[in-house]
Amino acid sequence: MNPDDIPQFVIVTFDGAVTVTNFPYYQTLFDFKNPNNCPIQSTYFVSHVDSNYKLVHELYRRGNEIGVHSISKARNNNQEYWKKLDYEGWRQEMGGQRKILSKYSEIPIDRIRGVRAPNLQTAGNVTFTAFVDEKFEYDCSNPSRQGIRSPFFPYTFDYGFQRENDCQVQPCLKEGENYPGFWDVPMNDWDVEYEVQGVKVHRECAMASGCIMFEKNGEVNYHPTADEIYDLFEYNFDRFYNGNRAPFPLFLSEEWIHDEAKRDALLRFIQNKLNKHDVFFVSIDEVLQWMQSPTNVADYIEKTKQCPPILQTKCGLKDGEKIDDISQFKRKCDYEKIDELNGQSKRMVICDDLHCPVHYPWVNRLE
């Protein structure tokens, strides 16, 4: 296809727990609409600890995609744990969180299709075999430095890992390790360009929230302004939009949105790009559907102008209900002195607030 005819998809993802703290910001995204007049969508890779599963359901009910980011990331937040985790461990971590999301957020399990490894660290084919056996359909954990020069589109592992000498987080799939039908959604690196003493310097980052910005003297800019962040967004977006139109990755961590300048820059960027007729903020799942039946911009708008209705369910927020209200149930799922969390106590908010799990759900303990 001629790049000018390709819809420029922007994939917004968030990693981490969904809470009453970050949900109000996620909620501000509901009001934006794509050129087909349908609400924009995001993909949320949800981890277990502290997640409010009623709010997870609300995100799903509004048309967003829910993916998996493990059960125990809050406890096991180091590379070595995930790098050395065995096949059964990966199944329990990721397949287990998929079951937790489905049960306590009341999301059909076959709608939870994607996964992102904690800290982007996999154990190579051990991890991907577990993903396939747990019936996930895609992974979005592989950074690509080559993607700075020419961004990659998603592709399947029918013929294995297709980015020679571009494995940024070892171990990656080796030659002959193929997974037909399982999709890789490359994390095309962002480029941070700055100038030191008249010389241009480039740094790459796999997630927008992981990009470190610099002053003109080469020192780290710890408190970039909204304008500086917005300029970084624009610079990287232009590489895709004026290039091959591969999906633009806007990958953010949950912690990132607590900075006012960053939040403002993101909202301004979204509003600006939606003024274009050929830019669409969509979930990863939507991109993969397009990949299997590509259409030009006009046909894509025609095909998608019938917006999916907001689901009417018993879970989620009611009209006029404030998010502070949803924690006030007749029966609360409270758990004290959880061994796996070093004796911490936790409260779970779930869709079925009358039937709390007997024990706090954990790896290999889902009931």
Query: For position 202, what pLDDT does the model report?
Result: 86
pLDDT at 251 over 80: yes
Please give the distance of CA 264 from its chain centroid, rounded to a whole number: 19
Q: How confident is the model at residue 232 (pLDDT cuts 50, 70, 90)?
A: very high
Give the span between the Cα atoms of 103 and 358, in whole angstroms. Answer: 14
Residue type, 269: F
pLDDT at 324 over 70: no
Set out the domains of the chain in order of their start, with CATH numbers: 3-304 (3.20.20.370)
Residue 332's CB is within 10 A of a number of other CB atoms, namely 12
What number is the average pLDDT over the span 255-278? 94
Q: Quote the percentage of the chain above a pLDDT of 90.
A: 80
Query: For position 147, what pLDDT does the model report?
Result: 86
Average predicted confidence (pLDDT) for the chain: 93
pLDDT, tens digit, 9 for 90 and up, residues 214-228: 887 778 998 999 999
Closest Cα partner for 8 from 31, 34, 30?
Answer: 34
* In contact, 14 and 44? CB cutoff 8 Å: yes
Q: Quote the percentage of the chain above a pLDDT of 70.
A: 97
What number is the average pLDDT over the span 316-342? 77
Identify the three-state secondary structure at position 62. coil
Query: For position 28, what pLDDT does the model report?
Result: 93
For strands 143-144 and 65-68, give the pairing. Answer: unpaired
> At a CB cut-off of 8 Å and minimum separation 6, what does 69 contact?
15, 16, 45, 46, 47, 97, 115, 116, 118
pTM of the model: 0.95
Give the span between the Cα atoms of 150 and 130, in whole angstroms. Answer: 30
